[in-house]
Structure 1
Amino acid sequence: MDLSKPLSRISELYSDNLERNGPVSTAVGWNTPESQRLRFEKLTSVVDAGAQPFSVNDYGCGYGAHLDHLLERGMKVSAYHGYDLSEKMLDTARARLGGFQGELDLRQSTTLETEADYTFVSGTFNVRFEASEDEWKRFILGKLDEMHRHSRKGFAFNLLSTYVDWQEPHLFYGDPLFWFDHCKRNYSRQVALLHDYPLYEWTILVRK
């Protein structure tokens, strides 16, 4: 399964968005800062309130907005490992997050290589371009296996929902029932599906 072309196009898309918009929510595909924060709130709810300080893998980190969110909430993050396809995004993240007091590790890679307490994926799997639905589904399944292996306490991710009236042909929409069942059967007995917030997506939390 060769996904080099769609992955390259995804990198170009977000690099171009960053140049055009700067380090704001629209650069990473969210229409408003409010919708971006809501997604972060749902993903972050996987964190055990008593588990601080904790380390983070952020797969598809963009310019580091999720770390901003965690710190603004007063959470104690000991290490932040950010992964992104776009070197321009990573350069911007390095400049923005230079004052972070914990370990800062930013990598241009599609493969998770660091172990952390929690792994987050926010919107990273939404754009598939010319990859077929089956190819992209298998790609995500492989990434979830990586997240499971590299997350000590849990992980969280979101996908566009199949419970919509229409679908964009270049985006990937996930059946929440399939993904919940997959996580429940393969990763943990403690799995939550959040599909009760006003966006055309859902979030899954896996606690280990």
Structure 2
Amino acid sequence: MHAEIERYYTRKVLTHGATALGVDWTCQPTQELRFVQLLKLCDFRKEISLNDVGCGYGALLAFLLKRHRSACVDYLGTDLSEAMIAQAQPSSRPNIRAQFIVGSAIPRVADYSVASGIFNVKLAQSAARWTLFIKKTLTDMNNASRLGFAVNFLMPLGSELQAIPALSHASPEIWMRYCAQQFGAKVRVACRLRHAGVHAACPTLMPV
């Protein structure tokens, strides 16, 4: 599964470069709407450490540098694709330290972990296999987070829309219950976003 995901996103970034399309978002505003919601988890009033799971070319780091200029952040981005990590740019400020690593594991425990869009594209995987992948990833993120983690999902399609087989849609309530039961977490849905494009809706789930 990891090999299939790596090939898919490597093709994307080699085709589109370090852009929103390179990580399969329709545009930068769509991508950054998700970052705004995911980062509501973090308390930037003090120095924090942050894991960015499935970081791609490091767009979240660039967003941090733009949106949270004075924050003190120890950032670690991990991604399956070496081509993605090759596009990542280091931090330009001493108050935001950054490192990027190729791999599927989260190699450290941080204050927070976030993942944007990694549960959206299941490719040819069965629904059952993809569900196991989500469960394992959520468990890994919980184990790698001292204070909390945030992820997002594509919401279920309305009856008027035709499903795209390669995309995965999930009711946030299912994963809220899962995180509460498995991790004893307090869980909330930060926002339900609806935006034109392939990734039409994305609730942000925050177990803390």
- Name the TM-score, length of structure 2 as normaliser: 0.88
Partner of 2:168: 172
**Which residue of 108, 118, 124 maps to 1:114?**
108
Q: Does 1:84 align with 2:79?
A: yes
In the TM superposition, residue 99 of structure 1 has moved relative to its aligned partner by 3.1
Whether 1:36 aligns to 2:18 is no
Alignment-derived partner of residue 144 in structure 1: 138
Query: Quick one: structure 1 residues 20 and 100, their matched pair in 2 at CA, closer, same or farther if it must change by over 3 Å?
Result: farther
Question: Where do 1:65-76 residues align within 5 Å?
Answer: 65-74=59-68, 76=71
Distance 1:24 1:182, change over 3 A: same
Taking a change above 3 Å as real, the CA distance of residues 171 and 196 of structure 1, as seen in their structure-2 partners, is: closer
Other-structure match for 1:156: 150
Match of 2:179 among 163, 166, 183: 183
Contact 1:59–1:84 under 8 Å retained in 2: yes
Is 1:202 the counterpart of 2:203? The answer is yes
Percent identity between the two aligned chains: 30
**How much does 1:195 deviate?**
4.4
Aligned residue number for residue 90 of structure 2: 97
Q: How does 1:28-67 map to 2 (within 5 A)?
A: 28-50=23-45, 52-67=46-61
- Give how far 1:146 is off: 0.9
Say whether the 8 Å CA contact 1:156–1:205 is kept in structure 2: yes
Q: 1:77 to 1:25 in 2, by over 3 A?
A: farther
Please give the secondary structure, in 2, of the residue aligned with 1:160: coil
Deviation at 1:73, TM superposition (A): 1.8
* Aligned-partner SS, 1:57: strand
Cα deviation, residue 187, structure 1: 2.7
Question: Which runs of no fewer than 5 residues in structure 2 stay unpaired?
Answer: 196-200
Task: Report which stretch shifted further, 78-87 or 99-108.
Answer: 99-108
Alpha-carbon distance between aligned partners in 1 of 2:194 and 2:87, rounded to the nearest angstrom: 30
What are the Cα deviations for residues 21-79 of structure 1, in whole angstroms up to 9, with x where unaligned?
221111001111111110000101111243x2111111100111111112212252432
